[in-house]
Structure 1
Amino acid sequence: MKILVTGTAGFIGYHLIKRLLERGDEVVGLDNINDYYDLRVKYGRLEETGIENAENIDYGKLIQSKKYDNYKFIKLNLEDREAITKLFEKEKFDKVCNLAAQAGVRYSLTNPYAYIDSNIVGFVNLLEACRHNDVKHLAYASSSSVYGLNETMPFSVHDNVDHPISLYAASKKSNELMAHTYSHLYNLPTTGLRFFTVYGPWGRPDMALFLFTKAILEGKPIDVFNYGEMKRDFTYIDDIVEGVIRVIDNPPKGDPNWSGKQPDPGSSKAPYKIYNIGNNNPVKLMDFIEAIENAIGKKAEKNMLPIQPGDVPATYADVTDLIEDLGYKPATPIEEGINNFVKWYREFYNV
């Protein structure tokens, strides 16, 4: 298959394309390489996939990987409609996996327009390009944050998610609504993936695992929000990638039993589907911190703080649909995943 993966300088995108390339798919990677977090990590990921000298890459130019014959990379903004249109017309993708987005809940409180540009304008550009170029399946990153004020645990794709509490979450819910519209109107198969707190080697520097590891190694205090009374369904990167690949390979066909009288939010008569990809095993924040301390071999000094605006106290994924439809359930234990991350962190930063 020829697959476009957006967000390939990002955490999940980097791991996904390595798996796709290793199994023989032809891949075009796209990223705007913005400076939302430490560019050394983004450049490092690109270099690992044979895209060298990333800081000097020309905008809009396809670059051939030095490591994989079946991989090319292009630096582009999703909101650049003309450039996206040209790329699709030229490359003729079979499938698209959209992982590019302005990420982060807290950042959306102070930089709202970044989310509208990338996550709304950029997403409609992709939908239009898929529609006009006979793309067979669009899989895209949604987020567990769409569950918002929902307190029914575990979170199910069949739950109502109309009460987001951050603009980031609202932008991801908007993606799901926009995708359904295109599935319904143009028979474009789309699948939304609600990721639950992804972690692992090459992880994002704005996420708790990275921030905690860095601070503990530097002997600095860590900020523990909601006084440690948080639970997260931490999901290891390899488990996420396995789930994404199974989704890409299995476009939705639409549910003939779907009823408008009792509408199920997670599916449709149209070729549209939503999946949770989570570990189905929420971990207390204090237990998570203890696992990091054990991996590093050093105790953390803790700043206990109230919950932040836009944060939810707990996440917990119901992955029944993922198991029933695709025969898959994430299962990497938190201790194993954290050990792998700490090992990578020490090697990358030489500490």
Structure 2
Amino acid sequence: MTEASRTALVTGSAGFIGFHLAKRLLDQGYRVIGLDALTDYYDVALKERRHAILGNNPGFKPIIARTEDDELLTAIFSEERPETVVHLAAQAGVRHSIEVPRTYVKSNLLGTAELLEAARAVPPRHLLMASTSSVYGANTEMPYRETMRTDHQMSFYAATKKANEAMAHSYSHLFGIPITMFRFFTVYGPWGRPDMALFKFVKAILEDRPIDIYNHGRMKRDFTYVEDLVEGLVRLIDTPPVMGAPLEGDSLSPVAPWRVLNIGHGAPEVLEDFVTAIETALGRKAKRNYMDMQPGDVPATWADTALLTQLTGPLPRTALAEGVAQFVAWYRSYYNIPG
């Protein structure tokens, strides 16, 4: 089957990662059904602009709705019969989940359950679902491997994502749906979310305001450039899990065509180096406001990507300075700020 004849359903298509993935699939000739609720967790205009860009391609079909709408999801699966489904829609934000946990129950738990039910009725060839590096929680051994136990989440957001992994495994086991779960590691890049550190830091520095640096700068993150991550997702579409064929160090379930994968850069960066890269790209210094660790945060993340490499081959690894510069260039262009 050619890519031009393939249909993919991308939930969260107006979101940061969903937008980049949908754009790549459209560029490769896919027909893309983009489902997004355009919620107001952050600037709706930014989400609408992403969808407008996708809409320039005649292969894009936007649907503005929530994944909790079971009748709509059933109709989409039965009418469109997507061969590939990438479920990225979720209520994001570690700290926000402490303030409004019910939103996470509705979007991350109920929304995912309804999507699994729709996939049960009309199974796709491959269902790919977003999890998060936050599920590793209190683990201190690094790098994080997919086969590690993940029993001690540090935020309600992470807990809902761990629940998604378990829910997906049960459906994969019971109904034979091939499912790959992705644990994303601190994704950044152009069109990024305003609630994330890169966006907030750039905005604050340009406005000559101090930036809040948690844990007094003693933080490390496995920063992953969005286009590198999307490359991994695209390569994995045609690699659905198959029972009975585990690789070395595989997370493949013994009772289901289900696998969990890290997608990260594979090297942690010190937060201070991240800030320095922003300063370099902007050509100005940041005013630092050092603070204690925030509830729900972890001091470091680091992805073991050996399993991913076995499945996809080596992925691009954009250097932090280059990725940050790409974001700053986009930010200046989007908000008409001279460089």
Q: Is the 8 A contact 2:239 2:311 kept in 1?
A: no
Tell me how far apart the structure 1 counterparts of residues 250 and 115 of structure 2 sit (CA, whole Å): 22
Decide which of 178, 185, 188 is 2:174's aligned counterpart: 185
Establish whether residue 78 from structure 1 lines up as the match of residue 67 from structure 2: yes
Task: Classify the secondary structure of the residue corresponding to 2:212.
Answer: strand
Decide which of 41, 46, 50 is 1:41's aligned counterpart: 46
**Which one-letter code corresponds to 1:140 in the other structure?**
M
Q: Is the 8 A contact 1:243 1:328 kept in 2?
A: no
Tell me how far apart the structure 2 counterparts of residues 203 and 140 of structure 1 sit (CA, whole Å): 20
Q: Which TM-score applies when normalising by structure 2? A: 0.95
* Cα deviation, residue 255, structure 1: 3.3
Decide which of 184, 187, 200 is 1:211's aligned counterpart: 200
Decide which of 285, 305, 314 is 2:300's aligned counterpart: 314
Cα-to-partner distance string for 1:34-91 (whole Å, 9 max, x where unaligned): 00011221122111112xxxxxxxxxxxxxxxx2121101001111111211221111
Tell me how far apart the structure 2 counterparts of residues 215 and 9 of structure 1 sit (CA, whole Å): 25
Q: Is the 8 A contact 1:252 1:271 kept in 2?
A: yes
Q: Aligned residue for 2:323?
A: 337
Aligned pair in 2 of structure 1 residues 330, 171: CA closer, same or farther (>3 Å)?
Answer: farther
Tell me how far apart the structure 1 counterparts of residues 34 and 85 of structure 2 sit (CA, whole Å): 10
Decide which of 153, 156, 166 is 1:167's aligned counterpart: 156
**Which one-letter code corresponds to 1:336 in the other structure?**
E
Tell me how far apart the structure 1 counterparts of residues 64 and 328 of structure 2 sit (CA, whole Å): 30
Give the aligned length: 330
Cα-to-partner distance string for 1:110-138 (whole Å, 9 max, x where unaligned): 01011110111010111111111131111
Q: Which TM-score applies when normalising by structure 1? A: 0.92
Q: Aligned residue for 2:29?
A: 24
Task: Classify the secondary structure of the residue corresponding to 1:141.
Answer: strand
Identity across the alignment (%): 52
Q: Aligned residue for 1:326?
A: 312
Decide which of 6, 13, 22 is 2:18's aligned counterpart: 13
Q: Aligned residue for 2:265?
A: 279
* Cα deviation, residue 329, structure 1: 3.1
RMSD (Å), alpha carbons: 1.3
Q: Aligned residue for 1:349?
A: 335
**Which one-letter code corresponds to 2:251 in the other structure?**
G
* Cα deviation, residue 177, structure 1: 0.5
Tell me how far apart the structure 2 counterparts of residues 212 and 152 of structure 1 sit (CA, whole Å): 29
Task: Classify the secondary structure of the residue corresponding to 1:281.
Answer: coil
* Cα deviation, residue 265, structure 1: 8.6
Cα-to-partner distance string for 1:158-192 (whole Å, 9 max, x where unaligned): 10001101110011111111111111111100000
Tell me how far apart the structure 2 counterparts of residues 96 and 201 of structure 1 sit (CA, whole Å): 24
Tell me how far apart the structure 2 counterparts of residues 44 and 20 of structure 1 sit (CA, whole Å): 18
Uncovered stretches (5+) of structure 2, i.e. residues with no partner: 1-5
Aligned pair in 2 of structure 1 residues 161, 265: CA closer, same or farther (>3 Å)?
Answer: farther
Task: Classify the secondary structure of the residue corresponding to 1:191.
Answer: strand
Q: Is the 8 A contact 1:235 1:330 kept in 2?
A: no
Tell me how far apart the structure 1 counterparts of residues 32 and 75 of structure 2 sit (CA, whole Å): 17
Q: Aligned residue for 1:54?
A: none
